[in-house]
Structure 1
Amino acid sequence: MRLGVYNAILHDRSLPEALKVVADLGLTGIEINSGGFLPAVHIPTFDEILESDAARDDYLAIFEGTGVAIAGLNCNGNPLHPNSAIGDAHAEDVRRSIRLANRLGQHRVVTMSGLPGGEPGATVPNWIVNAWNSAALDAIDYQMGVAAEFWSETDKLARDLDVKVALELHPQNVVFNPANMRELIERTGATNVGVELDASHLFWQQMDPVAVVRDLGPLVFQAAAKDVRINPAASIYGVLDNRFRKLSPEEPRTNLGGDEWANEWPKDSAWDFVALGKGHDVEFWTEFLRALYEVDPEMLVNIEHEDVSLGRIEGLEVASDILKRADAALTESLIR
């Protein structure tokens, strides 16, 4: 398997410094953020690379001799947001990322399917959690139509540029499970749109990531290694726990586009993102890698660190240790 790190956690340092961190972890890939919710910190010459071979070659030269290669681009965002200040910007980031991937000799762009409003003229996204009533299904049908139009056009661009776009199965998107993914493919006939299998969002939905990989098979284009711990509070609040706190402008907060900001996580949360091993052991991650190997022995699997109890490097060290041990166990089992 090809193991690496998603670079957002390393945005506090330069790209060469980030590459050294990844290499020191004994990993060989770095997934580079290219827009969406987060800026493309490690691609300062983005526009120039799209136009200039010299700028492209200069950027690629940064990776030479480091032992770390680009392992896909990531522009997670909401390209279907009904507020054009957000939706149009994120949609353009997806298109630009596809073009950039082609320029850099890359074949994977990770993003999200997006989430529109529930009806024409809506101003905010509407994620319908449980469509038990007919009006909710009507809204979902409208949303899938909006998604199909965007992803039909985007699939053509990706196909023309020999890039595959991997959608993270992330709640608060129209595509967050295999059924949604298959519906999108059926509506669009897409050939170059598939899945980024991030285990973490499947865990808290009470899904089995290994089973999902095997269910989707060749629709899995890339993977993220991120763990989740279900906490005792889940027995009271459930995994749809919604006790978030809105941060004030005076507090440190992360902008998500327009006037939208990340909220503060519940303190006694039902579940948390944690470093690999703190939710599921090496045995689980070995089987996760095995399922991915069955789809593609060269699958890109990148650690995403969002464990707030651990520092940036500390969390990557914990996660990389578990992931490398799982990879070694898989390798040993394959040669027996």
Structure 2
Amino acid sequence: MKLCLNTDSLGHLSFEEMVETSAKIGIESLEIACGNWSDAPHMDLDRMLADEAFRTKYMEKIHSHGLELEALNCSGNQLDPNEEGKAHQSVVEKTFQLAALLDVKKIIMMSGLPGGNPTDTTANWVTTCWPRSTHDILRYQWEDVLIPYWKKTVEQAKEYGITSIALENHGAQCVYNAETLLQLRKEAGPMVGMNLDPSHHIWMGGDGIAMALELGVEAIHHVHAKDLRKERTKFAANGGLETKSFDQYTKRSWNYVALGYGEDERWWNEFVSVLSMMGYDGPLSLEIEDQTMDSLTATKKSIQLLHRVMPRDFD
């Protein structure tokens, strides 16, 4: 397994500083966001597309520090039934174009979430089977929007040399767990796989180890090493459906944290061991959104844990 970094984790650093810091702290490859829900602190997407000399210099900086560009990330909601959805789709298409120019084979995305019917102006995430109108919403979202979109998108990706699209199991998306990923993969084909992020699955009441086993190694295209802590008393009292903003971390039922500050090291040992046992040999892409400590500190502490649990010698 390779130690990768979602570079938004060090979003306060310039591109040059991020690359130099990543190499210094032991990162081996980079997952770089191109826009949409990310501010893309390390990517000027339009300039990268337009300026060959700039692209060359960009990649030389990465390679000169012994790093690889693992994947491009354009996570957003390209199926949002409004102008934002159109803008997100534009970034997706530009990211595909850039992948071809950089010979990047893997894209990290979200599945997207449409409205509940053709006239909706906002996305609608269905999480219950009642009232019965939810069945009509799901049928519309999957049969009329999601499956046709992904069949078309897979064909577009092939034209740009992309071989893997890893969808993050995020809330407020059509694909948010093992079952929904496998359902879409059955329709859209094997290019579509999971970006397995255990943190999101935890707040929904699941377990990342169980999800990995349910998916199988063929359906796991990428793994986000990201942790979450259920806050004492608050989670038990209020559950995981949390709407308070992330900066209100003292009041929330759960928070994203550095690795080992949510699930303990024993859990992370088992998670990585099970992935290895299944035959997964791809990247563990560290993603830090801990609000309780400096992001570089959280990144370093998380790397220390990964060095102990990954099935390889880092000496």
Q: TM-score, normalised on structure 1?
A: 0.86
Specify the SS of the correspondent of 1:63. helix
Q: Is the 8 A contact 2:249 2:255 kept in 1?
A: no
Q: Which structure 2 segments of 5+ residues have no match?
A: none
- Specify the alignment match of 1:255 in structure 2: none
Check if 1:98 corresponds to 2:96: yes
- Specify the alignment match of 2:238 in structure 1: 237
Check if 1:292 corresponds to 2:290: no
Moved more, 216-225 or 102-111: 102-111
Give the drift of 1:14: 1.5
Q: Which residue of the other structure, out of 122, 128, 131, is the alignment partner of 1:130?
A: 128
Check if 1:331 corresponds to 2:308: no
Within-5 A mapping of 1:294-313? 294-313=277-296
Moved more, 264-273 or 306-315: 264-273
Deviations 1:86-111 (A, max 9, x none): 10111121222122122212211111
Q: 2-side partners of 1:40 and 1:230: how far apart? A: 29
Q: 2-side partners of 1:40 and 1:240: how far apart? A: 28
Q: Is the 8 A contact 2:147 2:188 kept in 1?
A: no
Q: 1-side partners of 2:222 and 2:278: how far apart? A: 10
Q: What percentage of residue pairs aligned between the two structures are identical?
A: 30
Specify the SS of the correspondent of 1:212. helix
Cα pair distance change 1:306/1:124, threshold 3 Å: same
Within-5 A mapping of 1:241-320? 241-242=242-243, 244=244, 264-265=247-248, 267-320=250-303
- Specify the alignment match of 1:114 in structure 2: 112
Cα pair distance change 1:266/1:51, threshold 3 Å: closer
Q: 2-side partners of 1:125 and 1:221: how far apart? A: 26
- Specify the alignment match of 1:59 in structure 2: 58
Give the drift of 1:5: 1.3
Give the drift of 1:132: 2.6
Specify the SS of the correspondent of 1:308. coil
Within-5 A mapping of 1:104-253? 104-145=102-143, 146-163=145-162, 164-186=164-186, 188-217=187-216, 218-231=218-231, 232-242=233-243, 244=244
Q: Is the 8 A contact 1:148 1:184 kept in 2?
A: yes
Q: Is the 8 A contact 1:205 1:239 kept in 2?
A: yes
Cα pair distance change 1:266/1:55, threshold 3 Å: closer
Q: Is the 8 A contact 1:195 1:221 kept in 2?
A: yes
Give the drift of 1:53: 4.5
Q: 2-side partners of 1:226 and 1:171: how far apart? A: 15
Moved more, 111-120 or 281-290: 281-290
Deviations 1:130-155 (A, max 9, x none): 12332101101111131112111111
Q: 2-side partners of 1:265 and 1:150: how far apart? A: 36
Check if 1:18 corresponds to 2:1: no
Q: 1-side partners of 2:103 and 2:271: how far apart? A: 28
Within-5 A mapping of 1:69-84? 69-83=68-82
Give the drift of 1:52: 5.4
Deviations 1:299-322 (A, max 9, x none): 111111111001011110111111
Q: Is the 8 A contact 2:125 2:173 kept in 1?
A: yes
Deviations 1:232-276 (A, max 9, x none): 21121111133x26xxxxxxxxxxxxxxxxx75464221111110
Q: 2-side partners of 1:128 and 1:265: how far apart? A: 26
RMSD, aligned α-carbons: 1.9
Q: 1-side partners of 2:195 and 2:188: how far apart? A: 18
Give the drift of 1:60: 1.0
Q: 2-side partners of 1:112 and 1:318: how far apart? A: 28
Q: 1-side partners of 2:97 and 2:278: how far apart? A: 26
Cα pair distance change 1:170/1:225, threshold 3 Å: same
Q: Which structure 1 segments of 5+ residues have no match?
A: 246-262
Aligned length: 309
Q: Is the 8 A contact 1:80 1:114 kept in 2?
A: yes
Give the drift of 1:284: 1.8
Cα pair distance change 1:111/1:65, threshold 3 Å: same
Q: Is the 8 A contact 1:234 1:241 kept in 2?
A: no
Q: Is the 8 A contact 1:227 1:279 kept in 2?
A: yes
Q: Which amino acid aligns with 1:27?
A: I
Q: Is the 8 A contact 1:274 1:306 kept in 2?
A: yes
Q: Is the 8 A contact 1:81 1:117 kept in 2?
A: yes
Q: Which amino acid aligns with 2:33?
A: N
Cα pair distance change 1:207/1:142, threshold 3 Å: same
Q: 1-side partners of 2:200 and 2:54: how far apart? A: 37
Give the drift of 1:36: 1.2
Give the drift of 1:189: 3.1
Specify the SS of the correspondent of 1:64. helix
Q: Which amino acid aligns with 1:174?
A: C
